[in-house]
Structure 1
């Protein structure tokens, strides 16, 4: 991303229903491009091409390229969460372990383009935290509510939080190891089974 992309020349005005619909449409188009082409060489000009508009129009609706990137990554992460949770409501996946098992293949799938882009976003946050720290912080705040929602209803809020944090940290570690390693799933699969056993003990302990 070049420095010219961060200049904000316009104030967005999306208070109207029409304006907000236009902003969502632009964001959807940029997000679709990001899902296919990733973060490499992402710029306001590229975003404008993918949205079929000009960079001036994007600056009218968004506070620069970093704001646009943050919102697009947020939207991509929401798609991944929706995909991961889609199978957790099946009757044979009503336990916490069953729900986590349903999430696992979605997160680690070879063809998971969404995960690939989100890995790049975390890497960018680590590389330049002064500019992109929100890309990393946003992951925790976005994933955690979904993990809290799959914990048993009878658990206390504190217990749900502790277990959800453990699941998040463990799965994130496996995903990052997969992204930075040689793609070998054996170690991650073994670690995942250890996580499953820990969750089985938590569930067996009752409320």
Structure 2
């Protein structure tokens, strides 16, 4: 993957409604390509082909190739979160935390999983250059996880449980990608569900 083939400072479209609309359109197309083809061999040239534009057009709307890649990954995460919320709220009534994680797990291991796992790996490989990919993941997922915790819990308790869910599910996703140990992951997943059931019961 080579995302270092663009110059920063070209983003002149910011603030213009027409420019922002064009930027969103380009980002959607690049995100679609990323979802299918992953991060391997990602480049500004490939992104331009996917967007039906030139690299100069992309650099008009994005600060750099890195900026475009990071924004596309954020968009892919947003799509995943939207699907997870749709599944979790498909049935009326409040789900328990355990029910919620069981419902959304198939979404988390769905079509975006490979690319988003690669993104976390990229953040670990080059933490200076791609630190935002790691920090951004927490900022994107935590509000949703906090929102599913019981309203009567303290802010601190909600944060603790949300962080536990995020870290544990992220670990399962990495394990699924690297080991393929489906039986082990399933066992660990059920242990997480039981821990969440105990947490809710203890807080009643």
With the length of structure 1 as denominator, give the TM-score of the two structures.
Answer: 0.93
1:134 corresponds to which residue?
132
Following superposition, the deviation at residue 93 of structure 1 comes to 5.6
Query: Which of 101, 110, 123 is matched with 2:121 structurally?
Result: 123
- Unpaired segments of 5 or more residues in structure 2? none
CA RMSD across the alignment = 1.5
2:11 corresponds to which residue?
11
Q: 2:35 and 2:15 mapped to 1: Cα distance?
A: 28
Query: Which of 171, 192, 195 is matched with 1:195 structurally?
Result: 192
Conserved? CA contact 1:93–1:99, under 8 Å: no
Deviations along 1:57-99, whole A, 9 cap, x unmatched?
A: 1001100100000000000011111112212121366222211
Specify which structure has the bigger relative contact order, considering alpha-carbon pairs within 8 angstroms and separated by 6 or more residues: 2
Conserved? CA contact 1:92–1:98, under 8 Å: no
1:73 corresponds to which residue?
73
With the length of structure 2 as denominator, give the TM-score of the two structures.
Answer: 0.94
The 3-state SS of whatever aligns with 2:117 is helix
Following superposition, the deviation at residue 6 of structure 1 comes to 3.3
1:104 corresponds to which residue?
105
Query: Which of 161, 166, 169 is matched with 1:168 structurally?
Result: 166
Name whichever of 187-196 and 6-15 sits farther off: 6-15
Name whichever of 54-63 and 121-130 sits farther off: 121-130
Query: Which of 164, 176, 181 is matched with 1:184 structurally?
Result: 181
